[in-house]
Amino acid sequence: MLDHQCSYAKCVIVTAVTGESENGKKQISAFIVPTGTKGFEIRCNYDKMGVRASNTCELVLKDVRVPKSHLLGDPSKGFKQFLFTLDGGRISIAALALGIAQAAFDKALAYAKERKQFGQTISSFQAIQFKLADMAMEIELARNMVLKAAWLKDQKKPFSKEAAFAKLFASETATKVCNQALQIHGGYGYMREYGIERMLRDAKLMEIGEGTSEIQRLVIARHLGCL
């Protein structure tokens, strides 16, 4: 039985092997499956490290049957549809990572201007200035990558490589910036009250969702003709 307290979608998109193509490869098709379909179960038993406001569930299908009318698009192009969706999703993850990084930087900068040590604000110390400068620079570079990838997609131009660029760089930048922001806050940054530790936990998922950092590097290498 569905647990409606932790699952919200009334339908999901499922890809499944539906046969073989002429060259002997598996044919993968996409289907729209209502969550109330007999044999379909949603289990939400995960207790995540971060991004806890977004529920993550396991989909269990046992002898689920859907009519032909629920076929989504060309039955032989389900996998390509899936990959195209992933490319677009990578831009979204990159934008999300960028937002987390910016928020962490803003908090770190404000704190550095307020916190005093040895009679002066810590923002006057070169060690802190260098951290903030690197954070600001990498956030701006990530922003430009996200905007370029999104622009290419909007213009209906090829954007797969740029989406991988943006997702990889923005996600790793977010983790790095959050870690540095926590360092600037010192012991306070480790406390939930300041919100930095949550940002760091949330940022880590950006390096995993929609393809790990390792996968992004493989995607980029393929576009460079390495593979």
- The active-site residue, picked from 162, 193, 210, 214, is 210
| CB half-sphere exposure, 2, CA atoms < 13 A | 17
Q: How many CB atoms lie within 10 A of CB 165?
A: 22
Distance CA 218, CA 55 (A): 29
Residue 98 is which amino acid?
Answer: L
Confirm whether 41 is a catalytic residue.
no
SS3 content of the chain, % helix, strand, coil (to 5): 55, 15, 30
Three-class SS state of 13:
strand
Residue 211 is which amino acid?
Answer: G
Yes or no: say if 125 and 118 are a contact pair by the CB < 8 Å rule.
no
Q: What residues act catalytically?
A: 210
